[in-house]
Structures are given as C-alpha cells and as structure tokens.
C-alpha cells in the first residue's frame, strides 16, 4: 500500500532554461511552466523578475554567488525530491539553457531514478545569444564555418583540454566561465600564432549591467583589466568579432549619406 501511495503522489520536475539574462528572452513554454509551478528552485544568474510568473509558488534560491553556495548539488537534488513527494510540480529554473553546462541533465536523471515525472524546457543559450546581442555571430560565411562552446573551468577547477584543441582550428571559440583562466587561454592561442585574432569579452550579457571589452589575443588581458571585466562573462575568439565594427561602420556611412542628401534639399 505504501508503494501505491508513492505512485499516486510522486510529483514532477520541469527543468526550465531562463535564457541569457534579459527576462524577455525566456520562452513562452518556460513561462507556462512557471505559471503551473508549486515550487521554484532558481539560480543566481536568473533575473528574479521571472518569479512573478509563479506568484503562488514557493521560491527557493539555490544558486551560488562569488563561490558561495546556498546549497550543494546533493542538497539541491534532495530538495527536488522532498518538495515533489506531495504531488507537487517543481520547476528548476536555470540560466541560459539547462543542458549547456547547467547540470540540468544530472538533476533530471536523479529525479527520474526517484520516480518523478521529468521534463525539460530548453532555453536560449548565452553562448550564442550574448554574442548575437552585440552583433557578433558565431558563424559567418567566409569567416567561420563552425564554432566551439567550451567551459573554461572543469569540475577539477582546471582549464579544459579542449581549449588547446580549439586554438588549433579556424572555428569561432566561445568560452564560458573562463575569466579566471583568461591568461592561460590567451597563451594557448598565442602559441598557435594567433596573437592578432579578435577577441570579445561580454559580462552580464543582455542585462542592464552588461559590460564589454574588445581587443585581440595579444591585448585582451589589458582590456579586461582596464574595464574591470570578470565573471559572469563570455569570451568570444575569432574573426567574427570584427562583424560588430563592420555593422557600426555601415550604419555611420548610411547616416552620413542621409545627412548629405538632407543638406542638398
């Protein structure tokens, strides 16, 4: 009988991607999930304005700020199970896309093993959308045929070996959580003779706290210090970074032509 009661009250987990930061960049499906939530567990990179979509839900902050954890991952897993046991719908709200360095897959697996119904609502990944918000594409015909998205820091707090492999390619390289390893990353690209490759660092992308620095592999460390850039930030390495300035130049040229035409009139 006890097992039967558990099946009748097993609850469910929906892992939702909140997008890169701008509250308008969450998906409609993500909003609908929040509206049906009984409990929302949210991370540090989630704008708390999104919690307004779940006015009656219990809201628990489980993120980390500057290395300080509100909950360890094992505690988050247990929290999901405990809150879901009374037939509750738990929404795990995570920045960006929960399957791009978000541990969403791990949480879903843990919940499924404990009998919960599990679902995921994909989010707009910061790895693509944050550069795009600054007119930087990750691919562009004639400039980049592919792109890498790499974590700058592994679970062992070391630089991913994939960065060295990416530095050998002609692809755009997007590095998340890499600011603490910026010098080490740039050295890998310098060793491949790529000191002049453009680099952009975008901090707090798509939010009102956004900051950006643009330079080259050789100069970006200076730019980062000068503009006091730090995590959470995205590092974009590749010729596609130049696209932003091209758009600025085209806009200026068009504006100048308009002004000349107005003067003639």
Annotated catalytic residues are 43, 64, 177
How far apart are the two ends of the chain, measured CA to CA in Å?
A: 87
Report the alpha-carbon distance of residue 260 to residue 239 in Å, rounded.
33
Question: 67: how many CB neighbours lie within 10 A of its CB?
Answer: 6
**What is the maximum alpha-carbon separation in the chain?**
88
Check residue 158 and report its DSSP letter.
Answer: S
Collect all residues with Cβ–Cβ distance below 8 Å to 183 and sequence separation of at least 6: 221
d(CA 118, CA 15): 8
Find the radius of gyration of the CA atoms of the chain.
22
Contact partners, residue 93, CB within 8 Å, separation at least 6: 16, 18, 34, 40, 41, 42, 43, 46, 50
Place of tokens 């758009």: 247
What CA–CA distance (Å, rounded) separates 213 from 224?
6
């Amino acid at each position: 009988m006890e097992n039967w009661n558990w099946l009748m009250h097993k609850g469910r987990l929906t892992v939702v991607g909140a997008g890169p930061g701008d509250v308008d960049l969450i998906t409609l499906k993500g909003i609908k999930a929040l509206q049906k939530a009984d409990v929302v567990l949210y991370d540090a990179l989630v704008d708390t304005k999104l919690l307004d979509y779940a006015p009656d839900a219990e809201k628990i902050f489980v993120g980390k700020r500057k290395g300080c954890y509100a909950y360890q991952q094992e505690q988050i897993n247990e929290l999901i199970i405990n809150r879901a046991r009374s037939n509750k719908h738990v929404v795990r709200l995570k920045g960006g896309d929960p399957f791009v360095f978000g541990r969403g897959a791990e949480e879903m697996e843990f919940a499924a093993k404990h009998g919960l119904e599990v679902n995921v609502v994909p989010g707009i990944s910061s790895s693509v959308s944050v550069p795009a918000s600054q007119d930087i594409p990750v691919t562009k015909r004639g400039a980049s045929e592919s792109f890498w998205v790499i974590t700058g820091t592994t679970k062992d707090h070391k630089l991913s070996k994939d960065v060295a492999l990416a530095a050998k390619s002609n692809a755009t390289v997007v590095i998340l959580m890499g600011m603490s390893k910026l010098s080490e990353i740039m050295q890998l690209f310098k060793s491949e003779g790529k000191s002049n490759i453009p680099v952009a660092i975008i901090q707090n992308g798509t939010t009102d706290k956004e900051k950006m620095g643009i330079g080259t592999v050789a100069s970006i460390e200076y730019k980062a210090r000068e503009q006091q850039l730090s995590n959470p930030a995205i590092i974009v390495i590749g010729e596609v970074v130049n696209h932003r300035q091209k758009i600025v130049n085209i806009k200026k040229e068009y504006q100048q032509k308009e002004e000349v035409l107005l003067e003639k009139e």
